[in-house]
Structure 1
């Protein structure tokens, strides 16, 4: 009699432990962290020819010329257009990957919040970039040809807003959402480091006349994304869900 009572008392605890273990297995089976990182690395590398060879489209009439020099107060709309389209397409590809993975494994993946937030951030990035063109947070010199970029003081607020409106920061913020969706602590740590890195790189002023001056801003994040994709692919769990 005593033994049966003890067993009945232990059953709820065993059931709760089994549910928690099954929940953990489902979360692990849902993860496909390596694929989004690989997609983002790909579109970052594909941006290189756009930055280098796309002509500047002065859609907002911010360029001023003197002799053979031209100074533009806004980013190239071709680059902004590339990132907006590339990010939206990237999230469509990522969503398709997770849906296919769910069907193959028989486990649903709550990827919709991540995709929605990612697309919203891409559109918001474009909107903020255009808004900053007409409402710049940085001081606008009366004579842009007489001022060196290093002479312009950038306040913390301007640095933060301009940094968070960059494509790399948008990718990092979306990865934070993915870490929450997948309950992935390793991805959370990676996303925080990635965001901090791209914010620091984005705030650096490069003094050079080379047409390839932008390479560090793209190659460093692309390398981090590729290494992250490789690491998450190699160390991804192989746990199967047991009902």
Structure 2
């Protein structure tokens, strides 16, 4: 790809068309869309044992005991720590992949904005989540059942803040940046759909006695990420697949 040159054209219009065609080929060669999706799918599946087996660590002393249950205003800090560290490591792996791909194909990729945005969003997720422990969307000591009974009102802004601090929403927001970096319309559509799923999942309160209640929150996004990775890998443009 790096050795290709713009073909000779008889007039400016043909030259412009040739340049545009070469630009599309370069953009196709720069793309590695399937890899970030695969990495995030693995990170999501790896979170299952953390959700299931790590006990709630009330490191901020925010949980309150009731006669029949305990109310905590935020997710398990251990789970939050997992997602923060896992996402940062995921972006490091993605950056290494794109650098290696650029060297192999001889075409540079402006991946820095995506990596920077992803790391910043992961850190913001952790910071806002800690802030919500002391300024919860759901008032404490009220429980989640009070929300359903209409005894506790949560405005749209509260629901949105709660949803956007979920790991899936953070991944979806970063994918929007990747779609912009790669000038990838299909990835843009996919990212918007995944972000919508992430917001819906992140804004739901789940009432369940099973210790596996969280599985849909992880398996549904993981399935979408795996399907997206497979689709983008299988249906790459020929120029990208040969590079």
Please give the TM-score of this superposition, normalised by the length of structure 1.
0.89
What displacement does 1:145 show?
6.4
Partners of 2:157 and 2:211 in 1: CA distance: 29
Q: Give the match for residue 177 of structure 2.
A: 177
Which residue number in structure 2 is paired with residue 211 of structure 1? Answer: 211
Match runs of 1:65-214 below 5 Å? 65-66=65-66, 69-141=69-141, 144=142, 148-151=146-149, 152-214=152-214
Contact 2:144 2:205 in 1 (8 A): no
Secondary structure of residue in 2 paired with 1:239? helix
Q: Deviations over 1:163-219 (max 9, x none)?
A: 111110000000000000000000000000111112112223322101111111111
2:70 is paired with a residue whose SS is strand
Classify 1:147/1:196 alpha carbon distance in 2 versus 1 (closer, same or farther; 3 Å).
closer
Matches of 2:143 and 2:90 in 1, distance apart? 39
Asked whether the 8 Å contact 2:30–2:109 carries over to 1, the reply is yes
Pairwise CA RMSD: 1.9
Structure 1 CA distance for aligned equivalents of residues 145 and 114 of structure 2 = 42
Contact 1:47 1:82 (8 Å CA) reproduced: yes
Give CA-to-partner distance per residue, 1:41-70, whole Å, 9 cap, x none: 000000010001112111111112245632
Would the alpha carbon gap of residues 13 and 139 (structure 1) be closer, same or farther in structure 2, given more than 3 Å must change?
same
Aligned in 2, Cα 1:80/1:145: closer, same or farther, shift over 3 Å? closer
1:36 matches 2:36: yes
Q: How many residues align?
A: 231
CA distance in 2, matches of 1:146, 1:27: 48
Aligned-residue offset at 1:91: 0.2
The equivalent of 2:237 in structure 1 is 237
SS at match of 2:56: coil
Partners of 1:146 and 1:80 in 2: how far apart?
20
Task: Give ranges in structure 2 of 5+ residues lacking alignment.
Answer: 1-8
